[in-house]
Amino acid sequence: MKLVRFGAPGQEKPGLIDQDGKLRDLSALISDIDSTLLGGAGLQQLKSLDPASLPVVNGEQRFGKPVATVGKCICVGLNYADHAAESGMEVPSEPVLFAKATSSLQGSTDVVILPPGSEKSDWEVELAVVIGKEAKNVSEADAMDHVAGLSVMNDLSERAYQIEREGQWMKGKGCDTFGPMGPYLVTTDESGDGDNRKIWLEVNGKRMQDGNTNTMVYKVPFLVSYISQFMSLQPGDVISTGTPPGVGLGFNPPIYLKEGDVMRLGIEGLGEQQQVVKL
């Protein structure tokens, strides 16, 4: 099931995409796609619906981030060996974790605005995990029982803020508009654990990242279990699982985003995004 939130910013309604690609309105049945829905019985009830019984929404629509309120967004660094190599870093013996400000999250086609003075803003297509049932010290075998679904994330990064200005990576990760997410939340009955899916990103029509999630060092079930050792994961929380090679930092010389650039990215079965870059 592909769940979406459609409409103008701050006025999104819940919906789903049916098997024919039509947008169906869920607003008469649920108030939003949020922690209450994801953490309760509501998600299972939606799966039993006949989409044909829901009204069709016609016309082009903006899709907001597919979860209304994200409590926390935990990101995994250097989770593809070839990306670690292009970054000049070793594959870590345990996952590298950092937080991305939830205020950076936005819809999949919303404009990306470079922060003041930015000269090294970069792209990162990533597989995002959305938590359903609370996860606290869960086993790897049980981890997927706590996942509501998967989505696409563009984990944009201002490299000078991230690397050159001391301290934690999150300085370069949490800028406003630096977390386009969606277009869909694809529930696990359709998405599985996201393994062995093509993952890619283009800038101005040129393919920059072209990978597969099967080369992730640490897979989704392990990451959910691992992170739940350090903090409880709540319904609606997001884990962004790392990026394959081809980021701007990895080129010689590096290539960074500038005003007017267009990013297009996607993951097999989880949909596509597109953003225009502005100052």
Look at residue 150 in the predicted model and tell me its pLDDT.
Answer: 98
Query: Mind listing the domains of the chain with CATH numbers?
Result: 2-53 (no CATH), 73-278 (3.90.850.10)
Look at residue 128 in the predicted model and tell me its pLDDT.
Answer: 99
Instruction: With beta carbons less than 8 A apart as the criterion, state whether 137 and 228 touch.
Output: yes
Look at residue 90 in the predicted model and tell me its pLDDT.
Answer: 81
Whole-model pTM? 0.97
Low-confidence ranges of the chain (pLDDT < 50): none
Look at residue 21 in the predicted model and tell me its pLDDT.
Answer: 97
Look at residue 179 in the predicted model and tell me its pLDDT.
Answer: 98
Look at residue 19 in the predicted model and tell me its pLDDT.
Answer: 96
Look at residue 82 in the predicted model and tell me its pLDDT.
Answer: 80
Look at residue 170 in the predicted model and tell me its pLDDT.
Answer: 87
pLDDT digits (tens, 9 = 90+) for 202-237: 999 999 999 999 999 999 999 999 999 999 999 999
Structure token pair of residue 194: 């996201």
